Chain A
């Protein structure tokens, strides 16, 4: 019976620490619940994350060295930020963590991934930079950076036989991350089967539906009621929203505590959970090419049902005739 699992978290990819910060925003479960072992049957988390660590400098690095030497067992490796190509230049580093005692030089982040991934019981790529490269892998970038599956190989398996688990999002939706982590904890404890992942290595239960399929503005689309400017309640697909073709649950789940999101609250979906992000979705504020055809196709049907429904709404807004007081001519 596994009572506790170390979580070794590298934030020293090319990222923004936004996924660590998102983790502190999660409430289902919260990080303090995972650390306290508050959930029955879920192993307690011993967290090694630089943003929240009590330890500092070399004392913090000790946990990384221990994990690399097989002295932290078992551990889950979380990688945040994209992985730079350190071979595309003569010397130096794009991303590093800690100091090599022998040379006095910084240790490239890639080297830590090389040391830690082969010993990890599971590897989680947190956020779109770590999953597929993200914003920092945008066309024209100097660092040649990539996601963890591109770096370790898409067929990578952990010591427990688990593929890389990708939880994309820029940043990751808070509860999507802690929920995935607690699933893996339960899997390691033997109380959950192999985590179900799609072809892009995303947990299926989180990323099968498109934004549009869960969007509370979808009804406007069906009725061909498209916004021509931001800040209305209508469907914003003609203003740049990619929701119809983006796999993400944020429209339904909200950002935190059910609040916020993207198109459901007036923000165009820019596709941040997808491997094609960001380049294939730019310019973000232009109508997606595919939307031009689909919105045209829905026009006749949408306008007709909208008119018919309005007729019915008006009818339903009147009380039945026999309930009216005598002399009411409404």
Chain B
């Protein structure tokens, strides 16, 4: 029991994320800690509502428009769901082309987000305004990998990240274009692809296509070899210079990854064999709880998904139709599963003690404990690397999962010799490890792309240029797609009746990460990671920027087309009172 003076702070909108996000907190400045946090989103569009009755073949064209930075992840996931529902297996070359495109998406998106959006939180100007003494230390701290990346001191890296002025900021912008050009070679346009279809792709495979991709990829490989050691230097500096920084944004290890990059030798898109082909993906699907890998089975993952409404602006769908009672293997499907969800929007005033956001609360039911787990994606890369590492299944030229980590080998390029990088399972699921994993996954995606292009090129050289398989849309069918959006776990669930879409529910990473308190009162991962997080910013309440909170929110790579709210400076002092624990009720609604 301690006396606490809590100050209400809101950031709305949180900038440098995709979409509208607000973060509402109560801060204990005396103890330099966040006492309470709520995440809000202020946009509703209604995909699940307006997709009803539409042609199932249009699903991927429509769902791509969910997101303007990783729309192609949605289109791809939609195509996976369509392939299952239509019973079509695309030719192998189509899968290699899609994998090349998705690898380019990871390379582009992580790159832009890491150095142009997240990077600004670590730039010289920001550190000067939030932790001036840290900047002084950074000036005199040599960067351990200066010989690789070219920045002599940590402060040099920070200056290079200054927006629109720093060399690294501008280089990252330019490289993000190179990676997007690679994407456009494979799927026509970014972020909403033109040549992606159920059954394969319309991309014309040629020596020129692969050559133009390959040359750009080689340039990117050269770039990422510098970026991984650079970010290691930057993040390690924070951990060393600010003892206890590992507690910033830390939460229980509750990570979900739905797998990425199909292996056409294994994947036939049938639900009945999904457990097998899911495990052959080039990023392994799975769930890690407290450091233990509890499943890599996509069917088990699918069966455990529950959508809770809790503090969101929706009416419950009790009494609405149950579309799917059992899956194709005979397993019962819950009423709260996406296949059976009906979206009933109910716009209303925002009440932070009641309903406060347009984001629902997806949870995963752990049958062992009966708990509805608020899984997070670790911003994407952390969960992908963690699950892949523990599963120990992935082993292809360039990438090997070891059970303790992931080894990534990148070949000789213009400036740098062959390099082996090793991502090791960290001790914590926290802000800096989410950010660090992002750099390593850029290298992973580049190594994977080198493999995919090699496989695709071999087919073309051998005269096998088929990239599309024909199909018929059944009158009645169900399908599901599992994929990794750039920022994490992504699923699409479709029900077809009378040849039209009867139900369609996409679950992107952000509802998992940005979800509000659910029907059981369990906070969503942003809220959970921020609550109880220590604060290292040197500013007091009057000039508080909330930089540690912002670093935490952004470490999840928010993509809401949603919001975290805090108000800057001159925060309102709520009241003085004894408060037994974090998250306890203090006063009335803010």
Contact = CB atoms under 8 A, between A and B. Distances in A.
B418 interface: no
Given A96-B42, A140-B53, A171-B191, A231 B203 contact: yes
B568 A266 contact: no
B324 interface: no
Contact of B69 (A14, A17, A32): A17
Interface in B87-120: 94, 112, 116-117, 120
Contacts, number: 281
Nearest to A141: B50
Interface string B199-210: 111111100000
Interface-central residue, B22, B194, B349, B467, by most chain A CB under 10 Å? B194
Contacts of A51: 15-18, 117
A170 B192 contact: yes
A92 interface: yes
A99 B12 contact: yes
A57 B50 contact: no
Interface stretch (B30-38, B174-182, B273-281, B394-402): B174-182
Given A16-B66, A20-B68, A25-B180, A56 B15 contact: yes
Contacts of A261: 188-189, 194
Nearest to B209: A265
Contacts of A17: 18-19, 67-69, 561
A316 interface: no
B561 A106 contact: no
A30 B163 CA distance: 15
Contacts of A134: 65
Nearest to B355: A92
B470 interface: yes
Contacts of B350: 92, 104-106
Interface string B1-18: 000000000111111111
Interface string A8-19: 000110111111
Given A21-B69, A104-B590, A260-B188, A97 B193 contact: no
B287 to A, nearest CB: 28
Contacts of A52: 16, 116-117, 163
Contacts of A255: 184, 188-190
A24 interface: yes
A136 B71 CA distance: 14
A59 interface: yes
B561 to A, nearest CB: 5
A53 B188 CA distance: 29
Give the secondary structure class of B's interface. Answer: loop
Contacts of A170: 65, 192
A181 interface: no
B204 A231 contact: yes
Interface in A32-67: 32, 35-36, 50-61
A282 B16 CA distance: 35
Contacts of A22: 68, 190-191
A61 B465 CA distance: 53
B20 interface: yes
A283 B545 CA distance: 49
Interface stretch (B55-63, B231-239, B325-333): B55-63
Nearest to B17: A51
Contacts of B68: 15-22, 171
Interface in A88-132: 89-99, 104-106
A15 B68 CA distance: 8
A19 B561 CA distance: 12
B46 A230 contact: no
Contact of A231 (B13, B180, B466): B466
A99 to B, nearest CB: 5
A266 B192 CA distance: 14
Contact of A36 (B164, B196, B567): B164
Interface residues of B, number: 92
Contacts of B561: 15-17
A102 to B, nearest CB: 14
A257 B181 contact: yes
Contacts of A135: 62, 65
A268 B61 CA distance: 11
Contacts of B193: 267
Interface in A277-330: 278, 282-286
A267 to B, nearest CB: 3
Contacts of B164: 32, 35-36
B346 to A, nearest CB: 8
Contacts of A230: 195, 197, 199-202, 467-468
Given A16-B65, A135-B65, A250-B189, A56 B550 contact: yes
Nearest to B185: A259
Interface in B329-382: 345-350
A318 to B, nearest CB: 26
A261 B195 CA distance: 9
Interface-central residue, B13, B193, B350, B590, by most chain A CB under 10 Å? B13
A35 B46 CA distance: 35
B188 A96 contact: no
B52 interface: yes
A256 interface: yes
B163 A18 contact: no
B160 to A, nearest CB: 14
A270 interface: yes
Contacts of A27: 177
Contacts of B143: none
B125 interface: yes
A10 B166 CA distance: 26
A95 B212 CA distance: 41
B112 A24 contact: yes
A233 interface: yes
A1 interface: no
Contact of A53 (B12, B15, B67): B15
A25 B177 contact: yes
B148 interface: no
Interface of B: 10-20, 22, 42-46, 49-50, 52-55, 57-58, 61-62, 65-69, 71, 94, 112, 116-117, 120, 125-126, 163-164, 170, 173, 176-177, 180-181, 184-185, 187-197, 199-205, 212, 313, 345-350, 465-468, 470, 545-546, 550, 561, 565-569, 589-590
Q: Which 4 A-B pairs have the closest CB atoms?
A: A18-B68, A267-B194, A92-B347, A260-B184
6 contacts: A18-B69, A32-B164, A57-B566, A91-B347, A171-B68, A266-B203
Interface of A: 11-12, 14-22, 24-25, 27, 30-32, 35-36, 50-61, 89-99, 104-106, 134-136, 138-143, 170-171, 229-233, 236, 250, 254-257, 259-262, 265-270, 272, 278, 282-286
Given A91-B348, A231-B201, 9 more contacts: A16-B69, A53-B16, A56-B16, A56-B550, A92-B350, A94-B44, A96-B43, A250-B189, A266-B202
